[in-house]
Structure 1
Amino acid sequence: MKRNVTRRGLLRVGGTTVALGVAGCLGSPSEDQWAIEGMLSVTNAQQFSSPGCSCCGQYASYLREYLDTTLQETEAEDVTTLKQQHNIPTELQSCHTLVLDEYVVEGHVPAEVIATLLDEEPAIDGIALPGMPAGSPGMGGSKSDSFIVYALGDGKTDEVYAEI
């Protein structure tokens, strides 16, 4: 059976896709489930956000509650080059990149995992929660599966740092 593709049909599909994408970022906040005791002790905190991404700002607001320093935010003109400079493999990328002192934190990583990273000081470049999973800090929706946070370093893409 052959289907005729019309401009109206394409617009409807495109509009639905955009609406669902925006709803994921604007849905009900889930930060309460990611609350931690204490503060994240770092000297420098810089978040590089994708242009026009609202969940990057929501993640920055969430993170500010736990940092004992000022979080600097920059909307990156070229996020691809920035992620390459920080050696973040394509399959582990998300919408924003956070640099905390010597560590890179890619994506919507909960503060509890960042706290563990800073406490343990492992010999890795950083950690990544790929994509934009529903229910993670800064994202709307509900968490439906475990989040797998990967270790960054040596070009590896499969070393699990934490599962929460």
Structure 2
Amino acid sequence: MTLASTPLLSRRRLLRAATALPLAGLAGAAMAQKSPSALPVLQVWKDPNCGCCQDWVDYLKADGFVVQVFDTGNTAVRRRLGLPDRYGSCHTGLVGGYVIEGHVNAREIRRLLTEKPDALGLAVPGMPVGSPGMDGPVYGDRRDPYDVVLVLKDGSSRVYQSYFRS
């Protein structure tokens, strides 16, 4: 039987199926990029009273991360994970075996999980205004330059991504 001799109803089904398959594939690919199941759970240790830490957690959730929060402070866990104090901030995360210290951008966390460098993790030392969780109207929309650093296993680091620098 040829397409020309196929009943009209069958041809319509065939055409619908042929056009739906590529669209289904595109939708699936888009969902996989932002799907929480595609990312490992990001655990975060923070002070229970810290508003900027919670803002960072909310920012990550809005970007598709599943976040497990421990309101127990972060100093002890940062040391247990081997991150030198000079990279310290107000919260510490762990995702895919990497330490995430401070107000690290979701984009860089995703990049880290994709590239899988031989490193301890990422850090945004201190609490730079304009970084995720340290942004918005409460800060007068100020945006200070800052670096996301890749912390290597020997404690050294290199700039992984700079923000707001010309």
Say whether the 8 Å CA contact 1:58–1:138 is kept in structure 2.
yes
Other-structure match for 2:68: 72
Other-structure match for 1:143: 143
Q: Distance in 1 between matches of 2:105 and 2:45?
A: 17
Q: Normalized against structure 1, the TM-score is what?
A: 0.68
Q: Describe the shift of the 1:159–1:64 C-alpha distance in structure 2 as closer, same or farther (beyond 3 A).
A: same
Say whether the 8 Å CA contact 1:96–1:107 is kept in structure 2.
yes
- The alpha-carbon deviation at position 154 of structure 1 amounts to 2.5
Q: Is the aligned partner of 1:103 residue 2:98? A: yes
Larger displacement relative to structure 2 (122-131 or 50-59): 50-59
Say whether the 8 Å CA contact 1:87–1:155 is kept in structure 2.
no
Q: Distance in 2 between matches of 1:136 and 1:64?
A: 16
Other-structure match for 2:46: 49
C-alpha root-mean-square deviation of aligned residues, in Å? 1.8
Runs (5+) with no aligned partner, structure 1: 1-37
Other-structure match for 2:119: 124
Say whether the 8 Å CA contact 2:92–2:102 is kept in structure 1.
yes
Higher helix share: 2
Q: Distance in 1 between matches of 2:158 and 2:144?
A: 22
Q: Distance in 2 between matches of 1:156 and 1:103?
A: 14
Aligned to 2:101, the other structure's residue is in SS state strand
Q: Distance in 1 between matches of 2:77 and 2:115?
A: 26
| Bigger relative contact order, structure 1 or 2 (CA pairs below 8 A, ≥6 apart) | 1
Give CA-to-partner distance per residue, 1:57-106, whole Å, 9 cap, x none.
110000001235x31111124x3221101111111110001111211111
Picking from 62, 66, 77, the partner of 2:59 is 62
Larger Rg: 2
Say whether the 8 Å CA contact 1:87–1:153 is kept in structure 2.
no
Aligned to 2:99, the other structure's residue is in SS state strand
Say whether the 8 Å CA contact 2:83–2:120 is kept in structure 1.
no
Aligned-residue identity in percent: 32
